[in-house]
């Protein structure tokens, strides 16, 4: 039998974790959270702001591919610094086992910032959507590689019914074709990292851009570190750029974010209109 891929390992662990958590924190309790009643902010709108950076700045302590990236940066200072630097929104990893995050990280970021926050986790169950809402998220990630089109429809529709936006992550044309469900998805993120073997290539985003239907806002994810790369991605239609490691490997991630925002501001305006 072949070895499970890292993605399969993470998802198997996540299913157990969610089952256990559901016992501990019943849906009724999630629904009684103060955030459950609040109106989410639109990641789409913030990414589309005129003269904005289009950056979604991620808080990620570690990853299966890189190990520890930053064990010490505090979530308050970092996220507040990201937003003051000019990021359009935040992405907070809440997976503990593989990424060193927790739900409280997102809630802390929520308390310190007025901006859209993406809950970055491996969603396999409707419970996690309710949980995302209860901890103060504005948007959730769904990963096409681990979900059927039916699951994407159900999970995405539930998220939307709660006012959350849905970022669907794809890695190739086949995933895109089967999962781009306009009734359940708002933004499409092309992950430049292959979650099966961790290889990285911006060509993934460059090649898939034209195949993404225009009703979805296009986001390029992973392996981005320079304004030049963002310039190229903008030219083929991307309006959102999700960066984690390029910021987090700095002792002060917010400083790295501020430097990149300055460079983005100096880019020539995208030559094409889309």
Q: Which of 131, 138, 151, 169 binds ligand IGP (CB under 6 A)?
A: 169
Rounded Cα distance, 178 and 149, in Å: 6
Q: Which of 11, 243, 260, 261 binds ligand IGP (CB under 6 A)?
A: 243
Q: Build a one-symbol-per-residue string for 44-83: x at contacts with ligand IGP by CB under 6 A, - elsewhere.
A: --------------x-x-----------------------
Do 81 and 47 touch, CB atoms closer than 8 A?
A: no
Q: Which stretch binds ligand IGP (CB under 6 A): 154-162, 205-213, 221-229, 254-262?
A: 221-229
Reply yes or no on whether 165 is catalytic.
no
The three-class DSSP label of residue 122 is: coil
Rounded Cα distance, 167 and 186, in Å: 6
Q: Is 246 in the site for ligand IGP (CB under 6 A)?
A: yes
Shortest distance (Å) from residue 169 CB to ligand IGP: 6
Q: Which of 17, 113, 120, 192 is catalytic?
A: 120
Q: Is 223 in the site for ligand IGP (CB under 6 A)?
A: yes
Q: Where are the beta strands (DSSP E) in the chain?
A: 55-59, 62-63, 67-68, 89-93, 117-120, 139-143, 165-170, 187-191, 217-221, 240-243
Rounded Cα distance, 168 and 112, in Å: 26
Do 106 and 135 touch, CB atoms closer than 8 A?
A: yes
Reply yes or no on whether 218 is catalytic.
no
Site residues (vs ligand IGP, CB under 6 A): 58, 60, 120, 169, 191, 221-224, 242-246
Q: Which residues are catalytic?
A: 58, 60, 120, 169, 191, 221-222
């Amino acid at each position: 039998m072949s070895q499970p891929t890292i993605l399969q390992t993470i998802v198997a662990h996540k299913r157990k974790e969610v089952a256990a958590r559901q016992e501990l924190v019943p849906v009724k309790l999630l629904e009684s959270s103060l955030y459950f009643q609040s109106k989410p902010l639109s990641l789409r709108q913030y990414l589309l702001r005129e003269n904005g950076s289009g950056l979604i700045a991620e808080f990620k302590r570690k990853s299966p591919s890189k190990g520890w990236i930053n064990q010490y940066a505090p979530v308050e200072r970092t996220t507040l610094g990201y937003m003051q630097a000019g990021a359009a929104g935040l992405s907070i990893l809440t997976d503990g086992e593989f990424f060193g995050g927790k739900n409280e990280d997102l809630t802390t970021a929520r308390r310190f910032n007025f901006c859209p926050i993406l809950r970055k986790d491996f969603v396999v169950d409707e419970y996690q959507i309710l949980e995302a809402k209860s901890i103060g998220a504005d948007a959730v990630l769904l990963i096409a590689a681990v979900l059927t089109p039916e699951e994407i429809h159900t999970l995405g529709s539930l998220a939307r019914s709660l006012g959350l936006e849905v970022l669907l992550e794809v890695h190739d044309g086949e995933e895109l074709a089967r999962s781009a469900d306009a009734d359940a998805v708002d933004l499409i993120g092309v992950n430049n990292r292959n979650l099966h073997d961790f290889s990285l290539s911006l060509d993934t985003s460059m090649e898939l851009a034209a195949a993404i239907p225009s009703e979805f806002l296009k986001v390029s994810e992973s392996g981005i570190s320079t304004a030049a790369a963002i310039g190229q991605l903008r030219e083929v239609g991307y309006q959102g750029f999700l960066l984690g490691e390029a910021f987090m490997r700095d002792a002060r991630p917010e400083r790295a974010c501020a430097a990149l925002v300055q460079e983005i501001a100096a880019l020539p305006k995208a030559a094409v209109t889309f």
